[in-house]
Amino acid sequence: MILSTTDFIQGANIQNYLGIVTAEVVYGSNALRDFFAGIRDVLGGRTAAYERVFEKGQQDALHELEIRAKKLGADAVVGIQMKTDTINIDDHGVLMLITATGTAVKL
């Protein structure tokens, strides 16, 4: 399966557009990780714990996108876009949302 942010695959012809595929990954917050991220907010610097969460989330979203495209009989997904967001569930809780969207195609 080829996953690409471009609208075409160099050297390959797209025979059929099978439809838009999406994948969503949602992670809950973690009290310990939030505590250390809060310290980083005060002192400055990068928050490696959250960087790892988003990196894993993007990989998981792409994997799920691939699974959903295969169910449509796709050989590739083109035009992939990734989006990250948060969902506030109450005054203290936040969920992290990572979404991948693309077009499933048959080469």
- Give the residue among 81, 107, 103 at the shortest CA–CA distance from 18: 103
The more confident residue out of 42 and 96 is 96
Q: pLDDT for 41-83, tens place per residue?
A: 445 556 666 677 788 889 999 999 999 999 999 999 999 999 9
Give the rounded distance of the alpha carbon of 28 from its chain centre: 15
pLDDT of residue 67: 97
Structural domains present in the chain: 2-106 (3.30.110.70)
How many angstroms separate the Cα of 103 from the Cα of each of 9, 27, 41, 75, 84?
12, 25, 38, 11, 19
Has this prediction a pTM greater than 0.85? Answer: no
* 2-3 β-sheet, strand order: 2-3, 76-88, 94-106, 16-28
Give the DSSP H or E segment for 57. Answer: helix 48-71
